[in-house]
Amino acid sequence: MAKYICKRLFMAVLTVFLVATLTFFLMNAVPGGPYEAEKSISPQAKAALEAKFGLDQPLFQQYLTYMKNILRGDFGPSLKQRGRNVIDIILTKFPVSAKIGIISVMVSLLVGVPVGCVAAVNRGKISDSAIIVIATVGIAVPSFVVCSLSMYFFGVKLRWLPTVGLTSWKNYVMPVFSLSFYPTTYIVRLMRSSMLDVLGQDYMRTAKAKGVPGAVSLFKHALRNAVLPVVTYLGPMMAYTLTGSFIIEKVFTIPGLGGEFVSSITNRDYMMIMGTTIFLATLMVTINFLVDIVYKFIDPRINLK
């Protein structure tokens, strides 16, 4: 167990390091720089700014300095938003994204798991077919389609829900719906097939034979085993909600981290790009790591090596 955790931890750190290195050299490989686009700036001022942020030094030197600072927890100042630190920006923007993300993950689990079970238990009936059709179509619809269409119908046409801002709970309905749409349909399919698998197992027949009531056998025997694949999907799902929020934030004009990331790339705010990339990569890798460890704990049949 300890060996496995160490190995995974090493892989996680290595991944974040590789992503950071790759990002650093990729963004510096592009001709131009953060101050090229600003026409108002004089060459002297530009040189002064570059000297201030150490951009005039050799690339490898910059890389070493940056990595050293990162290890000390210093993400540096933003090159474009004067006087603000990258870490401050991340810490103010991320909670907004995280709130929507966490609500979406909860919604997809709370809807996806029961619906998938209902479909599996009613296999072959109309309710099952209806759920399959909806889930199959749902997987094919990109998130930007869901959010733009729901914005059009509920926000613009019917005027039920507000389209911008984040002031009341009503503002959360559409972003959460759009963000959780794909994971929900995916979980429904996953849950249905794994539930069907479990329902055909010998221990289910044994439970029935020894007189365990239907509901008990369903919840205690079937559900606990069937929900395992969903746990493995948690990691990819978190990654999806994190990156999916780029689009949601653009459409619903939510001041979150996703929008900040995209705009920092187009603005060439090197410090911001590095900061957000490292932050998001660490987050995703950590979630994946935790999910894997938890999975090994809740399913004792999996051997650790």
**Residues found near other proteins in the complex (CB under 8 A):** 11-12, 14-15, 18-19, 22-23, 26-27, 29-32, 136-137, 139-145, 148-149, 151-152, 156-157, 193, 196, 239, 242-243, 246-247, 250-251, 261-262, 265-266, 273, 277, 280-281, 284-285, 288
**Of residues 65 and 136, the one with the C-beta less far from other proteins:** 136
Task: Write down the least CB distance from residue 279 to other proteins, Å.
Answer: 10
Distance CA 115, CA 197 (A): 16
5 contact partners, CB below 8 Å, separation of at least 6: 293
**Of residues 51 and 133, the one with the C-beta less far from other proteins:** 133
Task: Write down the least CB distance from residue 152 to other proteins, Å.
Answer: 5
**Of residues 222 and 273, the one with the C-beta less far from other proteins:** 273
**Of residues 28 and 212, the one with the C-beta less far from other proteins:** 28
**Of residues 152 and 160, the one with the C-beta less far from other proteins:** 152
Maximum separation of any 2 CA atoms in the chain, in Å: 86
**Of residues 212 and 231, the one with the C-beta less far from other proteins:** 231
**Of residues 11 and 110, the one with the C-beta less far from other proteins:** 11
Task: Write down the least CB distance from residue 204 to other proteins, Å.
Answer: 17
**Of residues 212 and 236, the one with the C-beta less far from other proteins:** 236
Give the amino acid at 240: Y
Task: Write down the least CB distance from residue 273 to other proteins, Å.
Answer: 7
Task: Write down the least CB distance from residue 107 to other proteins, Å.
Answer: 21
Q: Which two tokens stand for residue 266?
A: 């187009």
Task: Write down the least CB distance from residue 111 to other proteins, Å.
Answer: 20
Task: Write down the least CB distance from residue 2 to other proteins, Å.
Answer: 20
135 contact partners, CB below 8 Å, separation of at least 6: 185, 186, 188, 189, 192
Distance CA 38, CA 45 (A): 11
Q: Nearest to residue 241, comparing CAs of 176, 166, 169?
A: 176
Taking residue 231's Cβ as centre, other Cβ atoms within 10 Å add up to 14
Task: Write down the least CB distance from residue 118 to other proteins, Å.
Answer: 17
